[in-house]
Chain A
């Protein structure tokens, strides 16, 4: 299934580059495969309504089957963002001085623009240090982010790119880990904060959780996500690159984010408790 989609996307891209077409706007009028308009920015793949719908459904199902497929989650996010939601997020950025500065300068977050050694050298409990520590703990790199290709408006495409690249900072600030339970908790928080549909759709992944995890999700993480997501300022308007040296607790206070309990810690405690119980059972047996 996912392999098929991959190939489909590739062939679409080839087609779009090889056929000379004159249609200017692809939002105003639908088009067929034979007269696909030229890309609006490097890497752009113009899709019509049917293709977009198929991509949204296909990538959503694929991502549900295999939550490790970040590319499918990304494609799903792009395919479902277009009517309204991404424009709302862009307007939220345009209404804020920092958001406008970000849109104007269009910074990218990679390991080149934010070198890890520098981040590690920052003072304890600073945003940059926390971010680096989180990257190290989870063993991930900021360079694994795909480029946006299915959003037609080039500015909105950047907004989506920015959201994607900032996602790790959200992880770092909330301290939530990258496995499914942590991701779902963070996505719930993001949905209430950014209103990107994909983050809301990710809630369906709760069906994949183990019963104990699901119980924790509804009892602990979801209430936290609703509280913090609604109370906090628009996270997309944070110029992370400029506040690396700020104290992370101070930042949380400014943005209005509550720090959730440490998920890894909880899981470890539960594991140990289970282990102790098991040992006790064995001893009693």
Chain B
């Protein structure tokens, strides 16, 4: 944690006396002490978490008058103008739990989202590729048969969410708000004690630098009563606040892609019910998940070793589709073999058929699990990508005049699809904390006002992140040994005990 600055420790001297005492020294100081622009909340990072916080602050009558600023390196104009036709989807998709959705509804952002592009699902099938033990998550145990099944989660493109949040913020007017897009934070340091102005020596002051196309009205230095770091895993705000993070890299990559599906074999009941599928592949380094998108599309998240991810990305579309279909159907032995299949030197067309013919042949001899996803029949061009999987957790989320939200505070394994939801939970909690501070006349940057936020969120995030980490480790033990036996037994038991399952689902929902 950042050591308390000298101003916090030295005895109080009233500003007028101080200016008299220090005036001479200041005047001849080498720094051009131009007073920075002062904001109440400065948020670094314009991802879902940062924009969510801004939208939440603008939505509440208590905090809507705060002077807020948002700084984003990317061009937000592009995010505002983002649009795709109904048959194409971005490959960066997140599953929003009902509590995240209700938060977005509360702050009025949900209606700004293109909900035709969001897909709810009511059931989740999770099974172990090694032993085929299976668990089904749905709310059927808690619902009467005459009601519609409540959703387990809603799949939303991150771009759709960001655009919705931006338009929600735009709809709140442009008083007291500055959005500096295309701008980098070149440095963050403590301010100085201005002889005639405010004493900013304990305030973070950010130096801004335009990125490429310069904005004319850009102030070069802004001071923050509360600086919020929503700036991702390598958070500069966290570094400034000197908050330690612990964590490790999983040496795994998540391969993502947008896929189109064949028509399902049997009609879902009730009609319109969609299912998410996840199969753990212990020998390949992690689970593969197929999550529904509208118009019979789906998004793929395949956590696997770095070498396998590189192999998958190097495949032709046909072979990639065959591998995805195989991942949900074939045995570990077959998958391991298919992941190592050589690319023959002669021509590409032979090579494509290799994976496909292997799949067709093996399907004849592999007994199929009761519920497998419909066959994938297309992959959207250019949508296959991968990202490294890591675990990070900041030792605390607050420091005087600093708070961290989202990936800056915690990065977890995506196997439960909880990353963005934890970020939304942070935002909801932090905005409530700020509201409370404003309502009670407290300084919103004071560590005592912020305490509530870290107390509320740290343990929750550590718990979910820890569970995901534990599941990752448990489902990376290959073979049919005692570990596989134990985890399958545990899974089957949980599947048969509705109250335990309900408890877990409520926990996952946050």
Contacts and interface: CB of A to CB of B under 8 A. Distances in A.
Partners in one complex: yes
Interface of A: 84, 91, 94-95, 100, 103-104, 154-155
Contacts of A84: 480
A94 B361 contact: no
A95 B336 contact: yes
A100 B330 CA distance: 14
Nearest to A27: B367
Interface string B321-362: 000000000010110110000000000000000000000010
Interface in B459-476: none
A114 B336 CA distance: 34
A157 to B, nearest CB: 11
15 contacts: A84-B480, A91-B331, A91-B333, A94-B331, A94-B333, A94-B334, A94-B337, A95-B333, A95-B336, A95-B337, A100-B337, A103-B365, A104-B361, A154-B365, A155-B365
Contacts of B480: 84
A154 B366 CA distance: 10
A94 B358 CA distance: 11
Contacts of A95: 333, 336-337
Nearest to B480: A84
Interface of B: 331, 333-334, 336-337, 361, 365, 480
A155 B333 CA distance: 14
Given A91-B331, A94-B334, A100-B337, 12 more contacts: A84-B480, A91-B333, A94-B331, A94-B333, A94-B337, A95-B333, A95-B336, A95-B337, A103-B365, A104-B361, A154-B365, A155-B365
Contacts of A104: 361
B356 to A, nearest CB: 14
B484 to A, nearest CB: 13
B437 to A, nearest CB: 61
B149 to A, nearest CB: 28
A261 B118 CA distance: 73
A275 B337 CA distance: 58
B311 to A, nearest CB: 17
A155 B364 CA distance: 10
A95 B333 CA distance: 6
A51 B365 CA distance: 25
Contacts of B365: 103, 154-155
B28 to A, nearest CB: 79
A147 to B, nearest CB: 19
Contacts of B334: 94
Contacts of A100: 337
Nearest to B357: A104
A100 B331 CA distance: 14
A123 B337 CA distance: 36
Contacts of B337: 94-95, 100
B419 to A, nearest CB: 35
Nearest to A104: B361
B37 to A, nearest CB: 65
A100 B357 CA distance: 12
A94 B332 CA distance: 10
A155 B337 CA distance: 18
Nearest to A90: B333
A104 B365 CA distance: 10
A88 to B, nearest CB: 9
Most buried by B among A84, A91, A103, A154: A91
Contacts of A154: 365
Nearest to A91: B333
Most buried by A among B334, B336, B337, B361: B337
A16 B508 CA distance: 50
A100 B480 CA distance: 22
A94 B361 CA distance: 12
Contacts of B333: 91, 94-95
Most buried by A among B334, B361, B365: B365
A169 B361 CA distance: 28
Contacts of A155: 365
A245 to B, nearest CB: 25
A83 to B, nearest CB: 11
Most buried by B among A94, A100, A155: A94
A128 to B, nearest CB: 29
A219 B159 CA distance: 74
A95 to B, nearest CB: 6
Contacts of B331: 91, 94
A12 to B, nearest CB: 24
A84 B481 CA distance: 12
B218 to A, nearest CB: 61
Contacts of A94: 331, 333-334, 337
A84 B331 CA distance: 15
A148 to B, nearest CB: 15
Nearest to A155: B365
A95 B336 CA distance: 8
B309 to A, nearest CB: 21
Contacts of A103: 365
A155 B365 CA distance: 7
3 A-B pairs with the lowest CB-CB distances in the bound complex, closest first:
A91-B333, A94-B333, A155-B365
A231 B365 CA distance: 31
Contacts of B336: 95
A208 to B, nearest CB: 36
A100 B358 CA distance: 10
Contacts of B361: 104
A95 B334 CA distance: 7
